A and B are shown apart, each in its own frame.
Chain A
């Protein structure tokens, strides 16, 4: 069962001032994490403050974009999703920087994916040229 290569354009997420840098970086080909300048926590999803110590001193931190599959699930039942773009493989990827993120796997054979597989980020465009969606594909 081969997963469709790219589903595009994806629905554009709501962008607000706090998250705009994340989406713009994605459109430029960079997965952005944030790091607390005070306690060192590297976190995802983006916020204008540190969710541990509440410090406003946080800085964008470009991620390597590599990680491993923490878990995944294949489905061909998703209402309101183009049927040509199914099945989809939902996944949680554990980035090499630490944070786990909900995402999808692409460019893969759904039957051969396994937990702990190495993956790298790729970006799917949306209708908004300043917004792209980070998804992952196996690298092994």
Chain B
């Protein structure tokens, strides 16, 4: 019996705005889509993971209310870690262990929400105190966007990175987005367009920020025995890594992220090297997020992320490391303010050869999908997955 764990089904909701649906309905629609993609009936699901739904209080009850709503019976393994934007990647990493341990063999993982319809001021709130540390941080009014801006500013100071280099990241993914019929912002922009857009918190401009979208995504993970039953070819999960970094009593290096450690763990487990990776789905809450991930995941030297982006490396299909060929969170989708799972879906599409032909990487064999939650500067959680195409 093989210990391998596979992604049998992956589905991204086509909507980006769902004013007439409930958040739970979005979960049900993506669950149905992912199970249909896998070719599995709902009755086979015996593992279930979802983070809380912010629309409802007591989000810790997420898996219970959702299993009830979806009519899932026989769930013998459940997971509701909410570590932010990469939560569902964390669920996947944990599900791999659970499947290997024999706790379950068909795991459904769902994401869905409606921040766009609810007109949330995402990223610009500063005063709400929800953790002990907020009393020393949010009380100063600094927001998610100002914290990322402070990182970008320090990166510019230490390495000479320019606003145009941040903009080059959006230029690349916006080029991809034009081939995605579902992308919220499908029009290509240039790095100069990014710099010309409204300043939100210098040096972050409007077009350096991800979209706010309704919608969702789901994946189905299976054991090798279940994969053997299925008609569809399955993508293998060959490496997982997680890492938390934080304020560290005042010693934080804001230019080093947890992606360093989560990436190292995933590559160690997978036994492949950075140069083997054909495609990268990188969490892209802001352009600077991608820039630091490129460096800390080891695709370029520390400080060279700007030059790497500017070189055209991120552009599919011919760039050195095509990134976010669906348009990513910057241009296509950041459902429920948690863009992690859509990163997995696009990586699966690449490895199955199912993306838009203009951005499909020929014979893509290895892909990386990276999620993060929390935020740069204060506390962040990174999860990295390495995936291998069906052979």
CB nearest neighbor in A for B246: A51
Interface segment among B3-11, B127-135, B294-302, B366-374: the answer is B127-135
- CB of B199, distance to nearest CB on chain A (Å): 8
- Among the listed B137, B200, B252, B254, which residue makes an inter-chain contact with A75, where contact means beta carbons less than 8 Å apart? B200
**A73 near B202: Cβ-Cβ < 8 Å:** yes
Chain B residues, Cβ within 8 Å of A102: 136-137, 140, 142, 147, 377-378
The contact string, 1 if C-beta is below 8 Å from chain B, for chain A 72-96, is 1111011111000000101110010
- CB of A117, distance to nearest CB on chain B (Å): 12
**A75 near B145: Cβ-Cβ < 8 Å:** yes
**B249 near A51: Cβ-Cβ < 8 Å:** yes
- CB of B120, distance to nearest CB on chain A (Å): 9
**B254 near A73: Cβ-Cβ < 8 Å:** no
Q: CA separation between A10 and B146, bound complex, in Å?
A: 19
- CB of B211, distance to nearest CB on chain A (Å): 17
* CB of B141 closer than 8 Å to a CB of A: yes
Q: CA separation between A33 and B151, bound complex, in Å?
A: 24
- Among the listed A71, A75, A81, which residue makes an inter-chain contact with B154, where contact means beta carbons less than 8 Å apart? A71
The contact string, 1 if C-beta is below 8 Å from chain A, for chain B 131-163, is 011111101111101110111111001000000
CB nearest neighbor in B for A19: B135
**B157 near A71: Cβ-Cβ < 8 Å:** yes
The contact string, 1 if C-beta is below 8 Å from chain B, for chain A 60-76, is 00000000001111110
**B135 near A14: Cβ-Cβ < 8 Å:** yes
**B200 near A77: Cβ-Cβ < 8 Å:** yes
**B157 near A78: Cβ-Cβ < 8 Å:** no
**A71 near B140: Cβ-Cβ < 8 Å:** no
* CB of B273 closer than 8 Å to a CB of A: no
**B250 near A43: Cβ-Cβ < 8 Å:** yes
**A115 near B125: Cβ-Cβ < 8 Å:** no
How many residues on A have C-beta within 8 angstroms of the other chain's C-beta atoms? 40
CB nearest neighbor in A for B152: A73
- CB of B264, distance to nearest CB on chain A (Å): 23
Q: CA separation between A16 and B132, bound complex, in Å?
A: 9
- CB of B250, distance to nearest CB on chain A (Å): 3
* CB of A52 closer than 8 Å to a CB of B: yes
**A70 near B154: Cβ-Cβ < 8 Å:** yes
Chain A residues, Cβ within 8 Å of B152: 73
Inter-chain CB contacts under 8 Å: number: 124
CB nearest neighbor in A for B206: A77
* CB of B275 closer than 8 Å to a CB of A: no
A72-B250 in contact given A45-B133, A80-B126 (Cβ < 8 Å): no
Chain B residues, Cβ within 8 Å of A123: none
Chain B residues, Cβ within 8 Å of A71: 150-151, 153-154, 157, 254
**A77 near B145: Cβ-Cβ < 8 Å:** yes
* CB of A108 closer than 8 Å to a CB of B: no
**A78 near B126: Cβ-Cβ < 8 Å:** yes
**A75 near B125: Cβ-Cβ < 8 Å:** no
Within 8 A of A (CB), among B20-45: none
A80-B201 in contact given A51-B249, A73-B153, A90-B142 (Cβ < 8 Å): no
* CB of A48 closer than 8 Å to a CB of B: no
Chain B residues, Cβ within 8 Å of A10: 139
Q: CA separation between A10 and B139, bound complex, in Å?
A: 8
- Among the listed A11, A43, A90, which residue makes an inter-chain contact with B146, where contact means beta carbons less than 8 Å apart? A90
- Among the listed A73, A88, A133, which residue makes an inter-chain contact with B150, where contact means beta carbons less than 8 Å apart? A73
- CB of B197, distance to nearest CB on chain A (Å): 13
Chain B residues, Cβ within 8 Å of A14: 129, 132, 135
- CB of A56, distance to nearest CB on chain B (Å): 16
Best-surrounded residue of B128, B143, B200, B377 (most CB of chain A within 10 A): B143
* CB of B76 closer than 8 Å to a CB of A: no
**B249 near A52: Cβ-Cβ < 8 Å:** yes
The contact string, 1 if C-beta is below 8 Å from chain A, for chain B 231-255, is 0000000000000000111111010
Chain A residues, Cβ within 8 Å of B146: 73, 75, 78, 88, 90
* CB of A98 closer than 8 Å to a CB of B: yes
Chain A residues, Cβ within 8 Å of B2: none
Q: CA separation between A10 and B152, bound complex, in Å?
A: 27
- Among the listed B143, B200, B254, which residue makes an inter-chain contact with A92, where contact means beta carbons less than 8 Å apart? B254
A-B contacts, 7 listed (Cβ < 8 Å): A16-B132, A41-B249, A45-B247, A51-B249, A79-B126, A90-B147, A91-B150
14 new A-B contacts, CB < 8 A, other than A73-B153, A77-B145, A90-B150, are A11-B139, A43-B249, A44-B136, A75-B145, A75-B146, A78-B141, A79-B121, A81-B127, A90-B140, A95-B250, A102-B378, A104-B140, A115-B153, A115-B154
**Chain A residues with a Cβ under 8 A of chain B:** 7, 10-11, 13-16, 19, 41, 43-45, 51-52, 70-75, 77-81, 88, 90-92, 95, 98-104, 115, 133, 135
